[in-house]
Structure 1
Amino acid sequence: MEQKSNSSLKAIIIVLAILLVGSLTYMYKMSTENEEVEKSNEALMSDKEILLNDLNTAKASYDKAIAENSGLKSELEAERAKIEQLIAEVKKSKGDVASLRRFKDDYRRLKRDMDNLMAENKKLKGENASLTAERDSTRNALDQSRMYNDTLVSQNENLSRTVEKASKLTIVNLKTESFKERSSGKLIATDKASRVDKLKISFTIAANEVAKSGSRLYYVQIIDSKNNVLGDKKTETFGDYTLTYSFTTNVAYQNKTMEISEVLPGKDFAKGTYFVNIFDKDQLVANSSFSLR
C-alpha cells in the first residue's frame, strides 16, 4: 500500500514538472515574440522616418531649383506637389509593412522623375550660362554701335515729331450762327431760343503744304445748356475714349485753305450757353461757344 502511494506521488511530481517546463517554455516564447514584434515596430517606425527624411530632402531640392526661376519652373512645381502629397500620406499612415512598401515604391518612382528633371534643369542652366557669356562677350563690341544708332534714332524721332506736328491741320474761325427758316426757305438770323430751328456751323482749315492731301473726317459735337448733345447723338470709340457727336463732315483736303459750313436743323432749343467742339478722331482741334436767349 505504501509502495503504491509513493508511485502515485512520483507520477504527480512528474506531471507537475512537465507542466512547469511547458509553462516556462510558453512564457519564453511569448516574451521572445513580443520582443520581435517590438523590434519589428521599431524597424517600421525607423523606415517611416527615413522615408520622410528622404522625401523632405527631395522637396528641399525642388524648392531650391524653383527659386532659381529656370525655364522648367512649372514642371518642377508639379513634381514638388507630388512629393508634398506623398509626405502627407506617409505622415497619416500607421507605418504598416504594406503601406510602407507602397510608399517606398512611389518614392522610388518620383525619385527617378526628379533625377531626370534635375538633370534637364542643370543642362538648361548650363545652356543659359553659355548664352549669357556669349551675350556678354559681344556687348562691349555693340556698345559703340548702339550709341551711334541711339543718336540717329533720337534725331529721327525729333525729325518725325517735327514733321508730324507740322503736318497737322489747323482749324480756325470756328463760329456758330442761329437762324429761323421762313416758308420761302430764307434764313433769318435770330438768337431767340424759341424761334431758332437752324444752326450754321462754319470753320476754316488753314493751308498746309506739309500735310497729306486726301479725305479728312471731322466729328462736330454741339452741347446745349442742359449738357445734352444735339443732332445725331451717335457714338464712336477710339481706344479707351468714346465720343458722342452731333454730325460728321467729310473734307477732301488739297493742301489749300478751305471754308467749311454745315447746317444742323432742330427745334425746341433751350436758352443758355452752347458749346461747339470739333474732333479729329479723339483729338479736340477746335472749340467755341454761343448763347441763345
Structure 2
Amino acid sequence: MENKQSSTSLKAVIAVLAVLLVGSLVYIFKLSSDTEKVQTVLTTTVSEKESVLKDLEELKATYDTAIAENTSMSDELIQERDKVVSLMAEVKQSKGDLSAFKTKMNLLQNKMKALMAENEGLKKENTVVKAQRDSTTVVLNESKKYNEALVGQNDELAKVVEKGSKLTVLNIQSSAYKVRSSGKEIETDKAKRTNMLKISFTIAGNEIAKSGDKTYYVQVIDSKNNVLGQKKSENFDGKDLTYSFTSTVKYENKTVQVSENLSGKNFEKGTYFINVFDKGELVSKSSFDLK
C-alpha cells in the first residue's frame, strides 16, 4: 500500500516538473523572439537614419556648389543650406521614428529643386547679359581706338600745319661798304675801310602762314665774338638774346626782300657771323670775311 502511494507521489512530482519545464521553454522562446524583434527594429532604424543622412549630405553638397557660383541668389541659397545642416543635426541625435524628419527632408528637397531651377535661369540670363556687355565693350574699344587714331592724325596734321605755316628765311647776303661824306657807298672787303655793313635776306612766300607784321632779330658777331650794333637784349622762354638790330616787315603771304644797314667803326679783320632769329628761334645764318 505504501509503495503504491510513493509511486503516485513521484508521478505527481514528475508531472509538475514537466509542466514547469514546458513553461520555461515557452518563456525562453518568447523572450528570444522579442529580442530578435527589438534587434530588427533597431537595425531598421539605424539603416533609415543613414539613408536620411546620406540624402541630406547630397542636398547640402548641391547647395554648396550653387553657393560657390556666387550668383544673385547666394543669400537665399545659404539660408536653405543652413536649414539642411540643422536637420542633419536633429537626425543624428534622434533615436526613434524618423518619419517626421523624412517629411522635413522632402520639403527641403522640393525647395532645393525650385531654387536650382531659378538659379539656372538667372545664370543663363547673366550669360546673355555678359555676352551683350562683352560685345558692347568690343565696340567701345574699337571706337576708342578709332578716336585715338583720329586724335593722333589731327595732332600730326596740326604739327604739319604748324610746321608748314612757319616762314622760311633764305639767302642772307652780307656786304661791307665805305660810305663817304657825300653819301656815296663804295663796296670793300677791307676791314679798315669799312664803316657800314649791308645785310639782306629773303622771306619766302607761304599761303598758309599768318599774315601781318613780322619782326626778326638780327645778330652780327665779329671775329672777336663781339655783338655789333645796338647790343640790346630780349628774353625768350627764359633765354636772353642779344641782337644787333631788328627788322619789321609787313608780310602778306608773298615773298619779301629785306635789307638793313649796320653802321660802325673799327671793324676787325676776320670772319663775321650773321644770325637771324624769329623771337628765340634761329631761322637762318651765314658768314663773311673782312681782310
What's the TM-score once normalised by structure 2's chain length?
Answer: 0.51
Q: CA deviation at 1:140?
A: 8.3
What residue number does 2:265 align with?
267
Is 2:224 the partner of 1:226?
Answer: yes
In the TM superposition, residue 142 of structure 1 has moved relative to its aligned partner by: 5.9
What corresponds to 1:213 in structure 2? Answer: 211
Partners of 2:141 and 2:188 in 1: CA distance: 70
Q: Name the counterpart of 1:172.
A: 170
Deviation per CA, 1:107-146: give whole Å up to 9, x if none: xxxxxxxxxxxxxxxxxxxxxxxxxxxxxxx998864443
- Which of 243, 246, 252 is equivalent to 2:244? 246
> Any residues of structure 2 matched to 1:87-98 within 5 Å, and which?
none
What SS does structure 1 have at the residue aligned with 2:223?
coil
Letter aligned with residue 266 of structure 2: D
Which residue identity is paired with 1:234?
K
Q: Which amino acid aligns with 1:179?
A: Y
Q: State how 1:125-140 maps to structure 2 within 5 Å.
A: none
Give the 3-state SS of the residue equivalent to 2:190 in structure 1: coil
Distance (whole Å) between structure 2 residues aligned to residue 239 and residue 143 of structure 1: 40
SS in 2 for 1:212: coil
C-alpha distance in 2 between matches for 1:229 and 1:160: 37
Counterpart AA for 2:235 = T
CA distance in 2 between counterparts of 1:253 and 1:202 reads: 16
Moved more, 138-147 or 261-270: 138-147
Question: Once the 2 structures are TM-superposed, how far is the Cα of residue 168 of structure 1 from its aligned partner?
Answer: 1.2
Which letter does structure 2 place at the counterpart of 1:156?
Answer: N
For 1:287, the aligned partner's letter is K
Name the residue aligned to 2:3: none
1:282 to 273, 280, 283: 280
Matched residue, 1:158: 156
SS in 2 for 1:155: helix
CA shift in 2, pair 1:141/1:287, >3 Å: same
**Local SS of the residue matching 2:234:** strand
Which residue of structure 2 lines up, in the alignment, with residue 181 of structure 1? 179
TM-score normalised according to structure 1 size: 0.51
**Displacement after TM superposition at 1:240 (Å):** 2.6
Write the letter of the residue equivalent to 2:233: T
How far is the alpha carbon of 1:170 from its aligned partner? Answer: 1.0
Q: For each residue in 1:87-108, what CA deviation from the matched residue of structure 2 results, as whole angstroms up to 9, or x when unmatched?
A: xxxxxxxxxxxxxxxxxxxxxx
**Change in CA separation of 1:139 and 1:197 when aligned onto 2, cut-off 3 Å:** farther
Number of residue-to-residue matches in the alignment: 157
1:291 aligns with 2:289: yes
In our comparison, the structure showing a higher alpha carbon Rg is: 2
Q: Deviations over 1:228-248 (max 9, x none)?
A: 100111111111322111010
Task: Give 1:147's aligned residue.
Answer: 145
- Partner-residue secondary structure (3-state), 1:164: helix
* RMSD, matched Cα: 1.9
For structure 2, the residue ranges without an aligned partner over 5 or more in a row are: 1-135
Query: What does the per-residue CA deviation read over 1:195-231, in whole Å, with 9 as the maximum and x for residues that have no partner?
Result: 1110000011111111111111100000000001001
Give the gaps of 5 or more residues in structure 1.
1-137
| Identity level (%) | 60
